[in-house]
Structure 1
Amino acid sequence: MNGLIAVGLDGTAESVAAAHWAAREALLRGAQLRLVHAEEWASPRDITPVTSAEMRSRWAEALLRDAADELHDGHPGLTISTRSLDERPAAALAAVATTADLLVLGSRGLGALAGFVLGSVGMAVIHSTERPVVLVRAGEDAIASSQGHHSDRELVVGVDTDRPCGALLAFAFEEASRRSCTLRALHSWSLPPLVGYGAAYDPRIHAQLDMSAKAGLEEMLGPWRERYPGVRVAARATAGHAAWQLVEAASEAGLIIVGRRIRRSAVGAHIGPVTHAVLHHARAPVAVIAHA
């Protein structure tokens, strides 16, 4: 792409955290950072459409200017541009994503629980773009400070060995190479219902399936290990629920990377159950990678 990272900014603590995360990522990549605010300012239903639009436009410009100044102070070498759009946020951000290497958005935490509440804008953007999208919750700056630099913490990627994962692994290995950190690749599998419980449980079948799962994961990772020999890879295939294993493994990670299948049909879910659960419960920033 063109060495550009875009971040949606709306003045919330979550979007501010996303902007700081995106700034650090832009520095790692040697990319430019673009701060984007999108909002429909004029509507036929507005009582005073001109005044309302002007006030919101001035507020958006001040928001972007102040955020850019703050990020410049923290990252003097970073090239930052701003863009204010009078459009529906989801559609505008999805369009911006097509011109960027990465789109970063804020996502609200689940109160006392660690995790996300993925709002309608974030969900719509993920559905609408095939570009990588990263969700960052408020408090990520404090977590990064307590657990190490943006690039120090390991990355976690969820791998489904039954389906192609080329785009997902390409992003994960490139990001791990850029950060010079460990990449933890996780694959979860389940026992067939008839051999998984009670008297039907057979440890030999469990062992065979475990061996097969590990071999499948290593086979999938093999070409990427060769392509990125400098990346430290910790591979694990275990029986269990994929989403919860990913969330647990990523509790102190710098980034968790999950995939979603590209669906051309408007019917049906566009985000699988594992990715959906990770988005709502992960403590770390989450990168969603669309792939075939």
Structure 2
Amino acid sequence: MSSTVVAGLDGSAAATDAVEWAAQEAASRALPLRLLHVWNSAVAPFGHTPAAVAKRLDAVAEGLRAAHPGLEVTAEGVPGHPAAELCAASGGADLLVLGFGGANRLTRRPAASVVRAVLARAEGPLVLVSGAGAGRAGTGDARASKPCPAQSEVVLGLDASRPCDEVIRYAFEAAAAHGAALRVVHGGNPPESAAAEANGADEVLRLWRERFPTVPVRTECVVGRPVDHLVDASADASMVVVGRRIRRAGRPGNSVRTASVGPVTRGVLHRAARVTVVVSHR
């Protein structure tokens, strides 16, 4: 399947922010944008008939095309379970973008249950946009959540003792694509371990610096809970990149893909500002 950016749209303000962010990201990558709205008898903000859903989606898509000339936008409304359909769509996508926001982001129902299910099962990078904007998708409303301007930082949460190439690669590629600096937050050990921790991080990043020589890299060895430092760093960052470990549960040949969301990633999802990218790894 060709590369694409998929954005879930459910009629909420958070999803509107996510769709606008996805449109700008797709335009910057010269990728098509696919809007996906999943509806059923219980959740139907765009109407209970295919015709009503299509009419609303067409309006959103047309607004995005007007706001982002040259962007290829398709919109599809499908009946079914939102998490299942979004996970299926993520399999052939470069990015799956969803909106979420407010306090207790991962515990509020029903949207939070969809995000949790997608976190556990989506195959590719999952972008979660938490915006305070109230703009309408495709209108160019400046209040909508937007990617930060060029030169703002991409923040990477790094566990130097168990580095994950997929997570590090995404952060470097994102920084390079947006002309941004990369801020690497790592550590969390007692102060007396700081020197060894810093040396370990420098060694992990050495090859990546060579592969991406145009990306300015700033490392920050922290003492205390890494999640607190990542949340602080997120306030002025274009995105925070963290990982989730993929496991298989069940018997061989009949296993189910699950994701283990650790305390740092969970804390970032609950509290970080703006945009969080969760990259799966083994």
**TM-score between both structures, scaled by the size of structure 2:** 0.86
Residue 227 of structure 1 aligns with an amino acid whose one-letter code is R
Residue 98 of structure 2 aligns with an amino acid whose one-letter code is L
Q: Report deviation, 1:21.
A: 0.1
Correspondence for 2:27: 27
Q: Distance in 2 between matches of 1:258 and 1:275?
A: 6
Q: Distance in 1 between matches of 2:13 and 2:63?
A: 14
Q: Report deviation, 1:8.
A: 0.2
Q: Distance in 1 between matches of 2:60 and 2:16?
A: 8
The correspondence of residues 44-83 of structure 1 with structure 2, limited to 5 A, is 55-83=48-76
Q: Report deviation, 1:39.
A: 2.0
Q: Which has the higher helix share?
A: 1
Q: Report deviation, 1:242.
A: 1.1
Structure 1 segments unaligned to the other structure (5+ residues): 43-52, 192-205
Q: Distance in 2 between matches of 1:65 and 1:267?
A: 34
Deviations for 1:165-209, whole angstroms, at most 9, x for unmatched residues?
100011000010000111101102222xxxxxxxxxxxxxx34x1
Asked if the contact 1:3–1:29 (Cα under 8 Å) also holds between the matched residues in 2, the reply is no
Q: Which has the higher strand share?
A: 2
Correspondence for 2:82: 89
1:291 and 2:275 correspond:
no
The correspondence of residues 171-186 of structure 1 with structure 2, limited to 5 A, is 171-186=170-185
CA RMSD of aligned residues (A): 2.4
Correspondence for 1:259: 243
Q: Distance in 2 between matches of 1:217 and 1:143?
A: 36
**2:261 aligned to 271, 281, 291, which one?**
271
Asked if the contact 1:107–1:135 (Cα under 8 Å) also holds between the matched residues in 2, the reply is yes
- Worse-matched range after superposition: 15-24 or 257-266: 257-266
Q: Report deviation, 1:144.
A: 5.7
Q: Report deviation, 1:139.
A: 2.3
The correspondence of residues 66-145 of structure 1 with structure 2, limited to 5 A, is 66-110=59-103, 116-117=105-106, 119-139=112-132, 142=143
Deviations for 1:32-65, whole angstroms, at most 9, x for unmatched residues?
00000012349xxxxxxxxxx9834233212211
Correspondence for 1:161: 160
Asked if the contact 2:39–2:80 (Cα under 8 Å) also holds between the matched residues in 1, the reply is yes
Asked if the contact 2:6–2:97 (Cα under 8 Å) also holds between the matched residues in 1, the reply is yes
The correspondence of residues 175-214 of structure 1 with structure 2, limited to 5 A, is 175-191=174-190, 206-207=191-192, 209-214=193-198
Q: Report deviation, 1:164.
A: 3.0
Deviations for 1:186-234, whole angstroms, at most 9, x for unmatched residues?
102222xxxxxxxxxxxxxx34x11000001111111100000000111
Q: Distance in 2 between matches of 1:269 and 1:23?
A: 27
Is the partner of 2:99 in helix, strand or coil?
Answer: strand
Q: Distance in 1 between matches of 2:128 and 2:174?
A: 16
**TM-score between both structures, scaled by the size of structure 1:** 0.83
Asked if the contact 1:130–1:289 (Cα under 8 Å) also holds between the matched residues in 2, the reply is no
Q: Distance in 1 between matches of 2:174 and 2:257?
A: 33
Is the partner of 2:268 in helix, strand or coil?
Answer: helix
Number of equivalences: 262
Structure 2 segments unaligned to the other structure (5+ residues): 134-141, 250-255
Residue 67 of structure 2 aligns with an amino acid whose one-letter code is G
- Worse-matched range after superposition: 127-136 or 261-270: 261-270
